[in-house]
Structure 1
Amino acid sequence: PRFAARTFALARQDEYEADRIAGRLLGRDVAAAALVEIEVRDAWLQAEFWRRHWSGAAAHPLPVGPYRAMRRRLAEPVAAEFANGTLRQALKRISSVDDTHPGLRDRIEALDAAATLPVWSQGGALALLGPDAKRWVAHFDKQWCRDHASEWKLHHAWLGRVRARAQVLQAAAAQNNAGEMVELARLMRHLDPQADVRPLYEAALERSPDHPGALRGLVQCLPEADRGARLQCLHRLWDAGSADRWWTARTALAELETPRPGVEHDAAALKLWRERLERAQESEERAWQELSGTPFFSQIARHDLGAFELGELQVELARCAPVARCWLVRKNLREFPQRRAYLVFVELPNLDDESRYRLCRSLEQSLDLPGPALVLWAGESPTLAQIQRAAFEPVYTR
């Protein structure tokens, strides 16, 4: 740690120097375009490709290698809306001490280049291997299947339960309420990320016109070209209540800031949604402070997960080998009384505190709970005894 701290500034400068050399060899615009494309495609891999690949476990009990499909998909252009949103968020991130690489904005500014979306690459470095490329792809596909066999098996079993739950909801379609229709849409997207779930959201809104989950889902189903309909849905979602306003404002701004053929720039709408985002951000900060800054065991109640939701959580925890036990409670937020927010307490007996911290932050991002969650490990604060006394019974025991 001391060596890393003392050499951090030098390592950071090495990154800038590498970028400058690339700029001299290839041109600064080419170097900047490469940095942007790497940023966007990496986000696309995490958000889109892997989700779709793992959904294949629904039909395949044995693992399927990802790299053959990845090679083909990486030669395709990234959807404009996703690319613009990713670039916009990347340019907002500041350089941190967690990584010697500077933030994207700093790297592009150092190159004195424009931060714009590139002309997408249509091939990759694998082409340099010539006829051997297919053999190497097959080799790494086989290795990936071997390394992920157990996790794939668990995921296949979980998707089987997802399908069973979806079939139950489909059988009772005529009696389902709006919440159950939204749940069915979510389950169908687990089974097939490309499933057409728009009719489900529209039917849910017929039964409950201001249902936040249905409005949010419908926005994501509407075609990109129909900006008017998307913004209309977002206005309805904003008016429906405050719990989804931060997401609503961010999505509206992403829509308005994405150039579309034949659509004029709307300065008034941009101003409105920027003001709304600022207000929503302030509310979110207060809510997070309430979730993370108040005494752990104040304003809590038993978790409100249904049987299927709890089963989903237990499957996710089973995949996380270090977790020995887990407790889940609902945190009642004064800022958002209707929001489902949670505290997750985990017992991690065989890790040091730094590893526990990293795992808890990772679980906050990966656990599929119906609301934000703060994950804490049993240690000095809170202690295992405090958790056992105040957090009700464990929801998972290995």
Structure 2
Amino acid sequence: MAHPEEPTLPEDTGQRKNKNMEELMKMIVRRTVLAVCTLVLALILPAAASAACTGFDDVPESADCYESVMYLAECEIAAGTGNDCFSPEQFITVEQWAVMLCRAYGVETIGDNWQDVGRSSVVEAYRQGWLNETALSAPRSPMCRSVLVESAFAAADVPVYDSTLYEGGTSLSTADNILRAGRELGLCSDDADTNALVTRGDAAIILHVVLTQSFRIEEPPVPVTLVNAAGVNVNDFLLELRKLPEQVLDAFNAAGWTYRIDFDYISELSNRLNMSCIGATNYSRKTIYISEASATLHEFGHFLDWTLGFPAEHEQLFRAEAAAAPLRNYAKTNAREYFADCFAYWVKYAENANAISLLQECAPMTYRYMEDLMRIAN
């Protein structure tokens, strides 16, 4: 007699048979699906691997640029020059470089053919600040090393500072300064020529390195409290600050002032005043606002005027000599602008005997005042 908690034998036997059949069918289906998937993958993977690793006929594995070219090709940044060739020994053109940059950094271009895509890429690269205006007029010209490395730095947001901003640094041309940074970061050999044309293979190596490595640039010392609200390369601004007399910079710091690169502030000020501004001095905030480095000296002239307590003598000099002074028209609007421009003029042309002589000739009282003042400041 069966126990109440157990199934009877006939019922148990039937359930086990049904369950076994279900398991058998599931196993058959699983094995069939697995076999089909294996077959499909066996057909697909070799073709995909072959497509990804084919490379270019003229870039053997022994080539210095092989790894870089393969990386760019696999990332769909470089597609070669046709007929399974990359042409690594050909000089790269502005247009070809622009196409690679736009693909590398995801910048959209337009065009159904190479000519249109190339033209669009040059325009977009220029808009991004990666190429200069010359690129627009000569898109098919070859690129020299300093120009290409500078473009690569710009695209990767790698700042390059003038060598004179570092202790013991000597003055270099823009091109030499670019290659100096390139050598320090391993993008150029020690004997690299700034004007040497760059091959497609070398360009691939440079772009590959820039895309796959992180660069740490040593920032030069900053002589004042500087706020870079605009997030731009501060090189040009530091060069302007470097021109200022040390005592003026010391006074700026001692008074708790700030030098602020702020495009938004200057834009709002320009709209409010209905005039184009590139700098402003806010005495209550003790802040110099700048949007262009070239306004630095003039704005520090306003700071110096504030430091001196806005002397009445500045008004007298303005009334007596502003009209004849060799300054821009804006400097002749009022005494404060006149003094600020006189200061900027003196600092800028301190080593230019002709310019200083012109000020002495046209505004002799202003000349004597600035000479005495700057002698003290220096």
Classify the TM-score, shorter chain. under 0.3
Higher relative contact order (CA 8 A, sep 6+): 1
In our comparison, the structure showing a higher alpha carbon Rg is 2
TM-score, length of structure 2 as denominator length: 0.22
Q: Which structure has the highest helix share of the two?
A: 1
